Amino acid sequence: MEEASYVPHHKKKIAFLFSAMRHFAENLREDGWTVDHVRLDDDGNSGSFTGELKRAINRHSPDRILVTEPGEWRVRQDMETWADETGLPVDILEDDRFLCPHEEFRDWAEGRKALRMEYFYREMRRKTGLLMEDGEPAGGKWNYDAENRKPAKASLFMPQPHRVQTDPITEEVLALVAERFADSFGDLEPFWFAVTREQAEAARAHFISEALPDFGDYQDAMLAGEKFLYHSLLSFYINAGLLDPLETCRMAETAWKAGDAPLNAVEGFIRQIIGWREYVRGIYWRKMPDYLDLNFFDADRPLPEFYWTGETEMACLRDAITQTKEEAYAHHIQRLMLTGNFALLAGIDPKAVHEWYLAVYADAYEWVELPNTLGMSQYADGGLLGTKPYAAGGNYINKMSDYCDGCRYDVKQKTGPDACPFNSLYWDFVSRNADKLRTNPRMARVYSTWDRMKDDRQAEYLETAAKFLTSLDVE
């Protein structure tokens, strides 16, 4: 219960993990293992890892404790107390769901002034041999991001993700979650996630055949009412351990070699897994526990209530948050350039933003979510992960989506009560953080534009932003 409630996790996230655990326990029993599986609603359940460990010791009288390293720092700290609390030796084994062990990441990071993901990614390509030809990157380039920024159109064929019918085990879990977590965030049903390895493998095969060919071109696109576009949704299953990351990448590479998917799509997909996923985990374990409290901009505004309700007149945020409530999912550009960008511009407390992301997405665990939120999205680490803040006005959203067409605000208006809030908030962000960002070479053009504005124009932007933020504070 402690793990299910330390943040208000999405109901679907809780149901997914509980059902996957129960199915895994049954699979182990079928394979001949003796399994002692304590369920949330079992009599006597203490509600914590340490409490359940002590009860298991009383049942089994073991000579030692073997455990896989957890993904989160706070759980690792608990585990390191177990030897003293139980009087037994504790072996914390490496988590083999990753390709880069902690020591390897430390060796790569040691002595570097900047820990740029791109250079780490190249090392991972060399290590795995993925998309490599005679020691060089396939196609002559390491990164095809420049080809992966096309806006999507509603007329495109959008493949739907693989959906799984619930079985009696999952139905039992859904009833449990509905009763125990009635006040938690999000919709519980319809529930369609894969909860076994076989089901997750079917979801992977479906993505590779149906969506991977167009994933690259449209991975940064957003469309109102289109929740998934060409995204894989495989992070649910990779992060939970139902799919092997390297095997998944090799299958995508095989699709490219067979001519079934273009290089820009396959490279972009593989980069997310062996590049970004491994990199943020390395950053997390290298920088915790201090990383959690970083706040480069000293942002302190509370998280707006509409992050939990979706009730806002901004069409883009309403769509992304409503989708998150329904599916425990939004793709990476919705997270970065809508909910994340707004929080950055509005000066929302980055720890509050972190706790929201951790709670609402089914693929969110602190090791992956915290660096993505505090570092990449909120720039709270002052540039450890990113060379500049991912801040943008309404023009970016209008370019990469069709949200603005149905919005009560006018993206073409820069100031005033009917102007897109992103427009004034962007320049307010630039102005109030000038002392921290003006010397950033990647922000030079932005500050040059700001400095050339007439005083009355600057004042209009700041006044519009101030009025909007005041309304936000009293919503």
Q: Mean pLDDT per 10-residue run, the chain (475 residues)?
A: 93 98 97 96 93 96 97 95 96 95 95 88 96 94 82 73 96 97 96 98 96 86 87 94 97 97 95 96 96 97 96 96 97 94 98 97 96 96 92 94 93 96 98 96 95 96 96 75
Residues 340, 375 within the same domain: yes
Task: Kindly state the greatest CA–CA separation across the chain.
Answer: 77
Residues 449, 387 within the same domain: yes
The 3 state secondary structure assigned to 207-250 is HHHHCHHHHHHHCCCCECCECCCCCCCCHHHHHHCCCCHHHHHH
Residues 132, 276 within the same domain: yes
Q: Which pTM does this prediction carry?
A: 0.94
Contact, 430 vs 449, CB < 8 A? no
**Would you say the C-alpha torsion 130, 109, 240, 213 has a positive or negative sign?**
negative
Residues 220, 142 within the same domain: yes
Contact, 10 vs 328, CB < 8 A? yes
pLDDT for the residue 474: 65
pLDDT for the residue 145: 81
Which of 232, 253, 287 is the endpoint of a domain? 287
The neighbour count for residue 97, using CB atoms within 10 Å, is: 18
Domain that holds residue 393: 306-473
Extract the tokens encoding 172. 């039992």
Q: Is residue 275 part of a domain?
A: yes
Q: Is residue 43 part of a domain?
A: no
Q: Is residue 402 part of a domain?
A: yes
* 3-state DSSP helix/strand/coil % of the chain, to nearest 5: 55, 5, 40
Residues 404, 462 within the same domain: yes
pLDDT for the residue 346: 98
Q: Is residue 170 part of a domain?
A: no
